[in-house]
Structure 1
Amino acid sequence: MAYLTQPDYVKYVCSCGQLKPITNLYFCRHCLQIRCAFCICHEVDSHYCANCLENMPSSEARLKKNRCSSCFDCPSCFHTLSTRATLAQPRQSTEQGSGDTKVENKQPKKMYYLSCFNCRWTSRDVGIPDQPVASGGWPERANPYATRVNQLLDYYKAIAQQEKQEKLDRERKKFAIRGKYITLTDKTGLTGAMARNIAGLPSSESSSSAIASFTPSQASEEVEELPEEFYTKELNLNQITSMPQRLASPEWQPTHVSRLHPIAKLLSVKRSQRCRVCDHNLTKPEYNPGSIKFKIELLAFYHVPEVKIISYEPIKPGCTSALLLKLTNPTGHEMQIRLMQPEDIPEPEERVDEPKSIEKSLEKSLNLEKDTSWYETVKRKPILLTECRITIPDVTLTLAQRDDAAEYDDDATHDANDIILWRKSNKLALRLQVVTSGEAQAGAAAGAVLALQYRYRNAVPPAAQPPRDHTLHAALRLHLGPVCG
């Protein structure tokens, strides 16, 4: 007998067909479907520094190249640098014509430098002067290739805009019908320049000037020869940077340790997840970077009944083994659950697209429609073929609502039933039988499939409608270890 509580032993089937643990799944209350990380759209809500918790908008983070201006990483070991304070002694001045030394009556000034507590690297090792302020005053190195990089960015943006405009013009000529309006732009006389301004795209004139003023790079066949000291000078590995240290600063790529400079710390993001089908939020965090709470947190762990494996007997070919499962109701309402075979789940209704409105026509004319090609690529069924089959009892199980106070109650009730082993608050244990085929090979992974039919009450219904109970289904796969010989 083995006691298994790891979530990877029980994997649920997502609406797209992938197998994931329940802790990695989401539940959309509008589609009433289980979603995985591939079925949702990830959006960045805010940027913040994980070290100083400074919050900044996306526009400011873009200007700062997604790096914090007051926090730095060690260029040697990549740990976070700490600011150390020291007292700078006043300078001594010597009078001309006499050997007397005169000390000005000044108080020692506090100065700051960066230090790493892990590898003992300091900013003084590379000649960076101490700063009078603790944060925000560290000098920034200018990228020697910044001008060329900006020219390349402007050039490729202009090329992309020109190709998009040519594609839009070809589509308009293809569907141009005299006397009929295909899009809202044709009816209202909205020109291409106005459409680009509304979409926030650059004008065609600026794109043409960027392409015309661009100077392409010229390849040179002549390569500078290496100096003689490269072959004769003794190599000291303690003074040469490693490959990760060079790649951490791609603008300069220092070759010697004496040229290492502090690396500005990368910003972290708080992201929200949105359902790709109905465009409703599944998770949305708080704007405050110090808060770990969520405004919206539609995880499957809080809406779909959880199944865990308590124990099972060794799986042998042609034998029947006992299987103990634990079902948990995570919702605040009473739930009825019925066990089924996966092939008994009814086929879901096909999704009907809404009729296109004027706003959607405008989005299409501006080439701003959303990409839904992913919906066709993930239409697949999971591989649930297995040589182990669970004997499904014909009973309907009732689970009480979740009660946080009942978690501290150790008393469990035992039902006079061959299937239900015990009950406790919103949990119950089941005793099932697993029949293994005689063709199962010893040493192969044993897996069984199961389906749940449960009643779910939507606590956030549309406006002017009472809460409704829905009958939902969830398929899952149980990993029962290897087949014994």
Structure 2
Amino acid sequence: MAYLTQPDYVRYICTCGQLKPITSLYFCRHCLKIRCGFCICHEVDSHYCPNCLENMPSSEARLKKNRCSSCFDCPSCYHTLSTRASLVQPRQQEGAGDGKVENKHQKKMYYLACFNCRWTSRDVGIPDQPVASGGWPERPNPFATQINQLLEYYKAIALQEKQEKIEKERKKFAIRGKYLTLTDKTGLTGAMARNIAGLPSSDSGSSSIIAKFVPSQASAEVEELPEDYFTKEVNLNQITSMPQRLLSPEWQPTDVSRLHPIAKLLSVKRSQRCRECDHNLTKPEYNPGSIKFKIELLAFYHIPEVKIISYEPMKAGENSTVLLKLSNPTAHEMTLCLMNPEDIPQVDNEEEQLESSLEKSLTLDKESAPCKPAAAPAWRRTAAPCVRAVGPPVRVAVPQRDDAAEYDDDATHDANDVIVWRKANKLGVRLQVATEAGAARGGAALLALALQYSYRNTVPPAANAPNQRNHILYTTALLSLGNVA
């Protein structure tokens, strides 16, 4: 797992201008564009408990305040609590002769324990339960009545404002001789009709709630501190920490003896959609115990992957050699062309230019990928590349992915200045690069490399759409080649 702590040496440029590794990007097969986490819509499919894998609908999760009723976390170290059993000897019955017990069978009782910090529910005086699942007592919130009053008060205010808004709109659009509703023509409002019928008025309840509400008032009198507050010795082992208090915002216990188990938060399974074409990019299985996906359009399975094998020290004003590994993740042969970003042809279609301008206006401090040499991308402000490829564009053909060839250790070595070796759907490429003469010594040596690749779309076309399966797509990758020597 050492690779998880390493930085991202190869980052791809998303359509919105963000720099992300290929494992954090998505590829939409309908609009044929790269998407990142900012370019997609997240939708919650289901709620489930990560410990017991209980699945529940959104309405039930909302009623339970997004917490599981049978799983708990330790209030001391935040690990999941386990249910432990213990045998309890029944009490002696009164009146039994010679001190004998009528029921000799021991009773099994259950309590919660943490295997990490050895905290138990017995430490805070929670009684043991005769049932292993559920039945644990819930602490009442001391401010529940006040919170409910505030909720009812604000709901009444929202209802009253809504009714006033409707009345203003009716007066605004009322035209002489023309009526929007029958009540406007007869002059009989809904409230008057309810009063004539003997029914309670719809706004009478909200008005009474607003009238009866008593706002809180600040008091200048504050309880005095105890006399031994500054002289009493403090035992830090008996005082809760700030994270422990904030984990229970309703009570915020100050003493360790008042800590209670915390109901485990629910997790969600989410699906992701493309913001432009509204098609699903990822769709997981509904079962919380399954890790499979119905739809999984990750960029790792559609875009050629670039990895750095080795490189020579980058010196200002000198040429160097970089050895790269290119991989074809698709099931079709791919033609790759390595070039500089400014060599990408400009977008001549007006509709695509309009879409790129709309994406630029909707994103926050992000611009489109460097398809136009006149526009300066936003990523160049923080990551200005000082290394560029030298010579004509490099064109190579990469075979399709073969799962059986993954177990073949033999690689074909080519006597070529560009292609070093071939192995299944991977090949090694030698690339000549040059560092700018004005590059700062000790600065990051970044290489912006544009990829032109052929892509075969397997999605069936929509009705009245051209049946075009083969496409030529472009993407830009930013490679980190150490520091300038």
Taking structure 1 as the reference length, what is the TM-score of the superposition? 0.83
1:26 maps to 26
Q: Distance in 1 between matches of 2:476 and 2:162?
A: 44
TM-fit CA distance, 1:221: 1.6
3-state SS of paired residue (1:23): helix
Change (3 A) 1:43 1:479: same
Cα deviation per residue 1:211-244 (whole Å; 9 max; x = unaligned)? Answer: 5554322121211112224344432222221211
**1:391 aligns to 2:390 (yes or no):** yes
Which residue, 335, 358, 362 being the options, matches 1:374?
Answer: 362
Change (3 A) 1:178 1:330: farther
2:440 maps to 441
1:365 maps to none
2:115 maps to 117
Count of residues in correspondence between the two structures: 443
Cα deviation per residue 1:384-431 (whole Å; 9 max; x = unaligned)? Answer: 432211125344321111111111112222334211111111111111
Q: Which amino acid aligns with 1:129?
A: P
C-alpha contact (below 8 Å) 1:7/1:308 kept by paired residues: no
Q: Which amino acid aligns with 1:31?
A: C
TM-fit CA distance, 1:169: 8.4
**1:336 aligns to 2:335 (yes or no):** yes
Structure 1 unaligned regions, length at least 5: 180-185, 194-202, 355-370
Cα deviation per residue 1:298-326 (whole Å; 9 max; x = unaligned)? Answer: 11111111111111000011111001111
CA RMSD, Structure 1 to Structure 2 (Å):
3.3
3-state SS of paired residue (1:124): helix
Change (3 A) 1:58 1:163: same
Which residue, 132, 135, 138 being the options, matches 1:137?
Answer: 135
1:321 maps to 320
- Pick which of 151-160 and 399-408 moved more: 151-160
- Pick which of 65-74 and 337-346 moved more: 337-346
2:474 maps to 473
C-alpha contact (below 8 Å) 1:19/1:382 kept by paired residues: no
TM-fit CA distance, 1:177: 11
1:46 maps to 46
Q: Distance in 1 between matches of 2:120 and 2:101?
A: 30
1:89 maps to 89
Structure 2 unaligned regions, length at least 5: 184-189, 191-201, 369-376
- Pick which of 109-118 and 213-222 moved more: 213-222
Q: Distance in 1 between matches of 2:462 and 2:432?
A: 46
Cα deviation per residue 1:254-296 (whole Å; 9 max; x = unaligned)? Answer: 1111111111111111111111222211111111111111111
C-alpha contact (below 8 Å) 1:7/1:21 kept by paired residues: no
Q: Residues 295-306 of structure 1: matches in 2 within 5 Å?
A: 295-306=294-305
1:74 maps to 74
Q: Residues 236-275 of structure 1: matches in 2 within 5 Å?
A: 236-275=235-274
- Pick which of 339-348 and 259-268 moved more: 339-348
Change (3 A) 1:126 1:456: same
1:368 maps to none
TM-fit CA distance, 1:126: 1.0
C-alpha contact (below 8 Å) 1:449/1:477 kept by paired residues: yes
C-alpha contact (below 8 Å) 1:9/1:478 kept by paired residues: yes
1:36 maps to 36
Change (3 A) 1:416 1:209: farther
3-state SS of paired residue (1:324): strand
Sequence identity, in percent? 72
TM-fit CA distance, 1:147: 2.3
TM-fit CA distance, 1:105: 2.7
Q: Distance in 2 between matches of 1:156 and 1:392?
A: 69
C-alpha contact (below 8 Å) 1:459/1:467 kept by paired residues: no
Q: Which amino acid aligns with 1:470?
A: H
Q: Which amino acid aligns with 2:44?
A: V
Q: Which amino acid aligns with 2:438?
A: E
TM-fit CA distance, 1:158: 5.4
Change (3 A) 1:57 1:100: same
**1:409 aligns to 2:408 (yes or no):** yes
1:425 maps to 424
Taking structure 2 as the reference length, what is the TM-score of the superposition? 0.83
Q: Which amino acid aligns with 1:281?
A: N
Change (3 A) 1:411 1:70: same
